[in-house]
Structure 1
Amino acid sequence: MPSDISRIFDPVPYDFNSRRDYQILVREVLGIYSTPPGIDDLVDLLIAAPDRERQRAAAICLQATGEECVEPLYERAEGGDLREQALCLRVLTGVPDPDLGEKVEFLRTVLTCADDDPAMKAAGARLSSLGVRAVIPLLHLQRLDAAASPDLRMKVNRLLVQIGEVVTAPAIQLFRYDDQVYFESVLPVLRSLAPGSVEVLEEAKETGGAAIRRDASRALDAVQGKGARARVPSGETMVSVVELDAIPSPEYGTFCPEHYDDLYDLVR
């Protein structure tokens, strides 16, 4: 780890409960590491941080670099283990990815076209190239389209569960949108990924922003069977507080369940 990073982060001369100290930290770090390859050092720190405070500091500094950190984080996620992938994706949910809209639209097209549509047949190479980069766009697709299409929600959730535990941390970070429909849509995924999701929910309950803490607490109760809400059997649709029947649903093509595994093989 470079000496400049060591000087700033070890020991940490900041009060991590102080917004002002965080602002000073970010300004000092960005004065040294605002562009690649310096950002790679911040990613190294994120992965190797000896405690949660330094890890959080590295995450905030990375997010402050904006789009510059997107590629370094994705590259580390693509070559990393489950822990490294989760850390990188968690940070990436707070960064404006310039290609996010294109990725979301691509996944929407694939998941809503008929099985015999040429677009479906041509999607393999692109899905394969997305790899771990598909996780955050899938979550945003769920957030944007879940209310309008329970059918699409089911398809996205099936893919998220098959991708596995790496989706848990970024899924919880999107609780910051304070969106009840998204919360109910992604809850079955968090249940399916238990017990691995429990530890991540417990951490978010303590360290996230207000909306994240509240919904992480609600999700934790539901995953552990403590909430009043009944478990929704697999394959059934959760009813949102928003009346789904009152929302115009676009006409989606058929999508046979056996294609879920084909899609996952491509995404993986």
Structure 2
Amino acid sequence: MSANISAAISCPSAGASNYGTFANAREARLAIRRGEWDSHTSGLAPGYAQGNLAILPEALATDFLRFCQRNPKPCPLLAVSEPGDPMLPTLGEDVDIRTDIPRYRIWKHGELAAEVSDIRDFWRDDLVSFVLGCSFSFEHALIEGGIELRHVSQGKNVAMYRTNIQTVPAGPFHGPMVVSMRPMTAANAIRAVQITARVPAVHGAPVHLGDPAQIGIADINRPDFGDAVEILPGEMPVFWACGVTPQAVVMAMAPEFCITHAPGYMLITDVRNSDLSLA
């Protein structure tokens, strides 16, 4: 990772948990739109699906759609916009992709050029928005199942890592899978597999449990994105495919221009998590 990208990966400091801060998704979106919430969104509106974002010029949209279809674990599609249309009516009332995420990333030629709270000044008539399922969406079910999520209880962003697991290429899109990690006891890990396997629309079951070196993670205490959390004795790291994968792909394939969310700063949709479950 280049020095300027590393410096730009900022994370909120540890503090009180976000869990349940807003009663519903629209309330959270409006607070974000007004600039009243500018932190990560883990636990913010329990029960509502959250989404990762990738915005690309229309000339790249078909290839990226095929990339998502070939890589459904890290890139499960929730919605695709019409070119130039910032509204996403299938995801909720008055969802405006230009204003409703707390922090966006502007990429130019594969380099992180800026982080902003509003992308109206960057909007173009040829841009297509892709919203991908997010693991924050299944965290409510894990917590209700009695599983502690340390980043949630400590008010941190989830830890995310680039891996040696390669995605299936499509056109110019290629690169490594990114994973999110949550430490758990063996018993809780088994339960977490059972819970998350029912929601493939938000990454589904974990892709790896245990030794991080087996998937190319050299230092579990130094995530590429998000905040490190302690792994206690008797716990193992559990890794899920992550919707930050397109950002690792952007670094690898270097498109002239694209926009993403900042890792952990998601779109909160009106879609209920229960509507995404297979059972």
**TM norm. shorter chain > 0.5:** no
TM-score (norm 2): 0.28
RCO higher in 1 or 2 (8 Å CA, sep ≥ 6)? 2
Q: Greater CA radius of gyration, 1 or 2?
A: 1
Counting helix residues as a fraction of each chain, which structure ranks higher?
1
